[in-house]
Structure 1
């Protein structure tokens, strides 16, 4: 079995249990195959050069961590990755802040990672690179003579060509992506958008009769959808146990029998938080019989403090929560509990299980695993109802059980809340059963196995026409 090399912007701490399904599945694959997990250490080297990799061993896994300089963080991480690619891929061209300096820093850091990673790669290793921070990494590795099979998975949405190609370095990134052997996206529409970008830009063309296969300058590569998931069984067990602990019993008592509506999102402009607050306020106004009978808990950890867009959003959402509370509160009831802090997985699992309604309404999301966690956390004999944005990747898999809404239309969210609070137990059970069947069959371990199997089956063809693994004249094969 081939070793596995995983590269991601951030790497879970080697000395702590992995949090979240992705980290659990990837670590399990690495333990089974042996290999390397490389990425940013989370530390800054200041004005100094980041220096050599820091290597840590844990069983079959070598963790290879690299510091980044303050310049790297400014240009690569805060610059092109999060001030351009993040808003662009979420269809917010208006929020992009492109500069040539940041673009140069983004490619420089990817060259840095490639140079540090190349000496760790052995013949036959499978390489799996994750997300928008590292789009050009395969191209940089190819320049260093690496001919191993290299896969890429995009965790966030891939936009339509008319959006992506507004990026000044858009075609450069597309050409770099043809260096991968397998490119995975969250949904079929995302994969389709990427293929359209290749065709519209003239970077690559589809191979007739070979679904998902493209050709660029004599080199074949595949594009496909691989919807990520969670460890649903484990999350369900965590939720069932969590509701028994003292903190959850106190929280449930504080509701005094009221129905709980819950949302969990990072503070980000892609999450549709103002629209959601407006919709809940409309619900209270249009359904006064529910005043004093429902509580909306919104858990929203702060991110990127000091960035103007996020500071403005934080003030707007807090203001809306205060406005709703000021208009509708009673001495013994406050309709909105708005919390700006993060909670551990066990606490969130318990809260999900208590909540009668999960409110997941992003304006755009690659997948949104909160939706899947909410479903997995429910008591199958008395489950809650998921209200889900049709623009979240999870909607494609959970459409038979969730109430799908247009997050830009506050009235549709209001109507969905009204439908959910009055839904019968039999209907809730039927909807929940449809969604849990999907999660049971397509958990995060199946996602990982499926991707790895398809990457392992690839026989990449180099620009010379030589298959990887065969030596062309003067060619070094790794």
Structure 2
């Protein structure tokens, strides 16, 4: 794992400069302060000396004629005059003659400093008294008296102002120093950013865009890089990237030019050749066919699932094995004791092995961690994920049960295993632990979030390590691949191989690739056509009293990621802004109930029903209402009929890995009619660029998109649908399966730490979609 926070903070460069400058400036400031203190003390001593000499005649007279003078007059002469506190006069015998009240008892005539002057050892003495509550400075001078012994005159000053002034000067110097340091730091940081940080940020942004394929061919590295060598290497890197991109585009053009339409038969032949006798095994939570008891009879249901839509035709073509959870209440009685049965019912094209889970296990593994934890974690729909330890334990146990069922079916034989979706993230590692020789891929059908979002998962490490047990991890779009690699890079001790676009861990390389999933053609599914289809469409119009109204259709599992309430609000706003369409426009929502054990999903059904009723109550007439909410598990032929009847198909997912309803609508329109309104937050939006793209959160924009779709000229409508159909036809589900299976088998895998050379042949089928 690359160390994060590797970028050097400007503070690490600024602090030494500021520190050295602070030491130098601080030293100058201290020297200046101490010099100022000495100067103020000298000034105070000069003042005391002048005062003492001015009083010298009076002191001499008092000492020479004690009876003829008044000691109080002399003592009170300087009573607390400014900083001068007073004086003390001592005679030659060290007796006190006069003393100011303010200094009474502070200067004894027997003190060493006074005695030294009286005895003639010094003409004057200066000392500081600090044990009297405040600093006092005293100066004693000799007072000569005729031929007798001299006395001593002491002048005392308050020196506390010196300390106050020094302290103030120190504070001021510190403030100035701090301001200078701040200005120096700001100037240094600004200089560093201008010289290094901004050019390097521009370089990093350029490299990111080139890596993600967002940069143009002509884009050069940013100018003004701080190093000539760096600029030179950047130019070389740009040239290499351009060459690599040109090569990839050439290979893609070659593959497109040499690839004819992929069909069920072509896929079957290709896969049989690739497998060379090995079994194709698919594992998923959702089963392709569910047996449900209704009114005393067993009914076969095909769950509303893009995964089932995509993989069922693949297994039909390849006669493989599908391991899935048996969730129907009649599933046990329609399978053998081991949980096996042949499907589709009445055709028997492949084997379904059902895995049994108790009600508690299903609640914890499926409704709990999978759908209240991982599902909202991976979808940017502002739904808070819920993580509970007991549900994680059920998730681990369920994954072990799926892996064990697959290993039982495979036995000691050869197989290629395709693990599907977020419910089974741990299965690849569990399979590899028992059978390291098995080629295993994991296809993640939902978005992959950025590392910051995924970081909140308590079991992020276990999930990532489980996924990296696969030889190949697939997502719908490149953006999700990039997010996954960034997540692994930040959260695991693994090495990202950007050249091969994979992850090295434990001597194994797991490749990460985009595989945009798709659909099969409706003509293969036995849906009505011709007069039978026309009769069915007339029947729908009559049954639901549509008349000649323009019809918009939505087909979804009832899930908060699908943006169904936002869709209904946009329809209401469209009718409000365009009243001419009241009575002439109907929106039909085919909603398949899903995960009703979870309160959030039950609340959503209630919300959608209430919202539809509100809009109908607001706009409906005696013979018309704008919203039809048909809540049921609709069979494929019913979905097809509505898609053919619709003038518009609205897909407004708030976040979706791909969304196959958009492609199903396009595949259904062999008449080249109809307009697709598609959320820009779906993976399909990256491929179906001729749809009208919309932000489902922006109600005004959404309503305007409905108006544009209705009023689009026929020529443009036909040309858009023609290009959409070409895209879906060329990149159908069989080609998706070809790419996924081929790369699972052929991509290099590590054996004992060595990279195995991939198989090469002339068939372009080994190339990624």
Q: Is TM > 0.5 for Structure 1 vs Structure 2?
A: yes
CA apart distance, 1:395: 0.7
In the other structure, the counterpart of 2:714 is 425
In the other structure, the counterpart of 1:22 is 310
- Look up the SS of the partner of 1:270 in the other structure: helix
Which deviations, in whole Å up to 9, do the C-alpha atoms of 1:190-220 show, x marking residues without a partner?
Answer: 111111111121343321422x222113211
Name the stretch that deviates more: 407-416 or 140-149. Answer: 140-149
Name the stretch that deviates more: 444-453 or 309-318. Answer: 309-318
Whole-Å separation in 1 of the counterparts to 2:584 and 2:339: 54
Structure 1 residues 293 and 245: alpha-carbon distance in aligned structure 2, compared to 1, 3 A threshold: closer
- Look up the SS of the partner of 1:428 in the other structure: helix
- The match for 1:261 among 542, 552, 558 is 552
Whole-Å separation in 2 of the counterparts to 1:262 and 1:152: 33
- Look up the SS of the partner of 1:63 in the other structure: strand
Which deviations, in whole Å up to 9, do the C-alpha atoms of 1:424-447 show, x marking residues without a partner?
Answer: 110100110110010110011111
Structure 1 residues 445 and 293: alpha-carbon distance in aligned structure 2, compared to 1, 3 A threshold: same
In the other structure, the counterpart of 1:465 is 753
CA apart distance, 1:369: 0.9
CA apart distance, 1:70: 1.9
Q: Which has the higher contact order (CA 8 A, sep 6+)?
A: 1
Residues matched between the structures, number: 457
Structure 1 residues 87 and 144: alpha-carbon distance in aligned structure 2, compared to 1, 3 A threshold: same
TM-score (norm 2): 0.56
CA apart distance, 1:349: 0.8
CA apart distance, 1:303: 2.0
- The match for 2:495 among 200, 205, 209 is 205
1:74 is aligned to 2:350: no
Whole-Å separation in 2 of the counterparts to 1:43 and 1:293: 41
In the other structure, the counterpart of 1:293 is 584
- Look up the SS of the partner of 2:518 in the other structure: coil
Contact 2:380 2:654 in 1 (8 A): no
Contact 1:236 1:378 in 2 (8 A): no
Contact 1:181 1:460 in 2 (8 A): yes
Whole-Å separation in 1 of the counterparts to 2:525 and 2:691: 18
Whole-Å separation in 2 of the counterparts to 1:266 and 1:310: 10
Q: How does 1:347-366 map to 2 (within 5 A)?
A: 347-366=638-657
Structure 1 residues 237 and 413: alpha-carbon distance in aligned structure 2, compared to 1, 3 A threshold: farther
Whole-Å separation in 1 of the counterparts to 2:285 and 2:741: 20
Whole-Å separation in 1 of the counterparts to 2:629 and 2:370: 29
- The match for 1:174 among 464, 469, 472 is 464
Whole-Å separation in 2 of the counterparts to 1:43 and 1:350: 26
CA apart distance, 1:246: 4.2
Whole-Å separation in 2 of the counterparts to 1:85 and 1:160: 13
Contact 1:18 1:24 in 2 (8 A): no
In the other structure, the counterpart of 2:385 is 96
Whole-Å separation in 2 of the counterparts to 1:196 and 1:216: 15
Whole-Å separation in 1 of the counterparts to 2:586 and 2:662: 19
Which deviations, in whole Å up to 9, do the C-alpha atoms of 1:68-104 show, x marking residues without a partner?
Answer: 1122112111111111111111124643121011111
Name the stretch that deviates more: 452-461 or 302-311. Answer: 302-311
In the other structure, the counterpart of 2:575 is 284
In the other structure, the counterpart of 1:7 is 283
Structure 1 residues 193 and 413: alpha-carbon distance in aligned structure 2, compared to 1, 3 A threshold: same
Whole-Å separation in 1 of the counterparts to 2:434 and 2:525: 45
Structure 1 residues 299 and 62: alpha-carbon distance in aligned structure 2, compared to 1, 3 A threshold: closer
In the other structure, the counterpart of 1:37 is 322
**What runs of 5+ residues in structure 1 fail to find an aligned partner?**
46-50, 470-478
Larger Rg: 2
Contact 2:502 2:510 in 1 (8 A): yes
Whole-Å separation in 2 of the counterparts to 1:189 and 1:243: 43
1:373 is aligned to 2:668: no
Whole-Å separation in 2 of the counterparts to 1:307 and 1:111: 24
Structure 1 residues 52 and 88: alpha-carbon distance in aligned structure 2, compared to 1, 3 A threshold: farther
Runs of 4+ in 1 over 6 A off after TM superposition: 14-19
Structure 1 residues 409 and 242: alpha-carbon distance in aligned structure 2, compared to 1, 3 A threshold: farther
Name the stretch that deviates more: 201-210 or 185-194. Answer: 201-210
Q: How does 1:34-73 map to 2 (within 5 A)?
A: 35-42=320-327, 53-56=338-341, 61-73=350-362
Contact 1:243 1:353 in 2 (8 A): no
Structure 1 residues 379 and 178: alpha-carbon distance in aligned structure 2, compared to 1, 3 A threshold: closer
Whole-Å separation in 2 of the counterparts to 1:385 and 1:424: 11
Structure 1 residues 467 and 165: alpha-carbon distance in aligned structure 2, compared to 1, 3 A threshold: same
> How well do the aligned residues superpose, as a CA RMSD in angstroms?
2.6
Which deviations, in whole Å up to 9, do the C-alpha atoms of 1:254-289 show, x marking residues without a partner?
Answer: 322111011111111111111111111111111111
Contact 2:522 2:668 in 1 (8 A): no
Structure 1 residues 119 and 468: alpha-carbon distance in aligned structure 2, compared to 1, 3 A threshold: farther
1:327 is aligned to 2:618: yes
Structure 1 residues 63 and 344: alpha-carbon distance in aligned structure 2, compared to 1, 3 A threshold: closer
